[in-house]
Amino acid sequence: MASSVVAAWEDCDKIDTLFILVCTVICWTIVPTVGIAYSGYTWRRNSLTAALPAVLVISICSIQWFVLGYSLAYGPGNGWFFGSWTAHLFHRDVLSSPVGTIPAILFSEFQLVFEATVCAIAVGGFVERGTIKSCAVFIASWSTFIYCPLAHMVWGGGVLGEELGVLDFAGGTPVHVCSGATATAISLYLSYPLFRSKKSPLRTPTHIRLHRPGNSFFQLVSMIIIWGSWLAFDAGTALALNFQSVMALCVTNLCAASGALTWSVMTFLESGKWSLDATFMGAIAGLVMITPSAGFIDMPTAFFFGVFGAVVCRQALRIKFTKLAHKWRWVDNGDTFATHCVGGVAATVMTGLFARREVAAYGGLDVPGGVVFDGNVRQLWVQIVEVLVGFSWSFFGSWLIIAGIDCIPGLEVLAVDKHIHEGLDFHETEESLGVLVHPEEEDYTPTDKGTIALD
């Protein structure tokens, strides 16, 4: 057994293996940093409970992926929606056999980063209203029944990738549309619960008042880490150190930069002040826009992708400020719908328009390209189908999961009114980050029931 493992290891390319190993380590930092970003968005008394789910994601997804997730997403078989339930159960036979030019176990670990990243973004729907214990159960269920099948459909030999031929380099739909649709489903269920949360006399589904970001320094740190780590995220998706991976890194940085500058300048022109929050949101919009196309577009196209993404996502963000949003209890406190869902849809469709066969060939890929440069009109419709399938699978599947969890005694998904009003950190966790808020918000409470004094 040992000799066969060593022999298979000898067949792997050591430079490619080292490259993906480094990318995996760098990309892992994205997962907890998403929690830090949500912590920066939220009211100071919810800051720790906003960050903690991302930490839970690291543990729960790592175990789920080891036990079953990898087999479901990338196991052998010709299933449209699942790989195999048993082939790689408990990572059986996932050792040094090459996947491309790297060991299977390293390929698995790199793909685990994708699942954990998507999950960390998705659970932003729980921010400021959801309970952590129900979130933990949701993470395990969602990663198994929502993410793994969708990853298989797009990348693991399933219906979207193998049968339709979607172009999705690093996850426009499995990463961004999936996480955005999931967070939206969670948020809507918390606004309109059906089961135990609705029947509880201690819980009143309501809208959460808008507020300034609770900690801009957390946003700054998050922007620095996510921006830098996403370069490795997209470059590593090539699974080899070749010119496609180099191009993926470069177009990712340029798209994030043009998105950040566009959003911040638009905010400055409106308010006359520079905003770190605007810069952060623009960078995220740019990273979302480039994800599905990072291996398929050139530098000038990437620049305009960033500008377009910032404009579109900024307009989508305005929804939560409307009277209609308040009336219908629309809560997007992590801005996940505006950036990841809307941006992911735009990015996936734009890939069908502007993907270039020539650029894909930098990594040895033979793809038909998109509409503008290669005249492949069919690709646009393929990308639209991918978006529709990905959104529907993620939104409705996530809604069913959270509704099912809400039926279990003790796992009510909506926090009680008192906890939401006083801040979840004081009731859901042993600690609190204890961050001071902006002076204008000293009297802020999410449900407008008067001031509190717990410090």
**pLDDT tens readout for residues 42-75:** 888 888 999 999 999 999 999 999 999 999 999 9
The answer to whether 178 and 298 have CB atoms below 8 angstroms apart is no
Q: What angle do CA 212, 218, 224 make, to 5 degrees?
A: 120
CA dist 207 and 222 (Å) reads 27
As a whole number of angstroms, the longest Cα–Cα distance in the chain is 70
The tokens of 107 are what?
Answer: 């390929």
Long-range contact list for 364-373, CB < 8 A, 24+ apart? 364/242, 364/244, 365/244, 365/295, 367/165, 367/167, 367/296, 368/165, 369/296, 370/167, 370/296
At which residue do the structure tokens 């629309």 appear?
330
CA dist 128 and 150 (Å) reads 28
Altogether, the residues listed in the chain come to a count of 455
What percent of the chain clears pLDDT 70, i.e. is strictly above it? 95
Q: What is the DSSP string of 229-266?
A: HHHHHHHHTTSSSSHHHHHHHHHHHHHHHHHHHHHHHH
As a whole number, mean pLDDT of residues 419-430 equals: 85
Count the neighbouring beta carbons within 10 Å of the beta carbon of residue 349. Answer: 17
The tokens of 433 are what?
Answer: 């980050």
Q: What is the pTM of this model?
A: 0.93
CA dist 83 and 181 (Å) reads 23
* pLDDT exceeds cutoff 50 at 7: yes
* pLDDT exceeds cutoff 50 at 455: no
CA dist 8 and 20 (Å) reads 17
- 3-class DSSP state for residue 102? strand
**pLDDT tens readout for residues 147-189:** 999 999 999 999 999 999 999 999 999 999 999 999 999 999 9
CA dist 214 and 329 (Å) reads 21
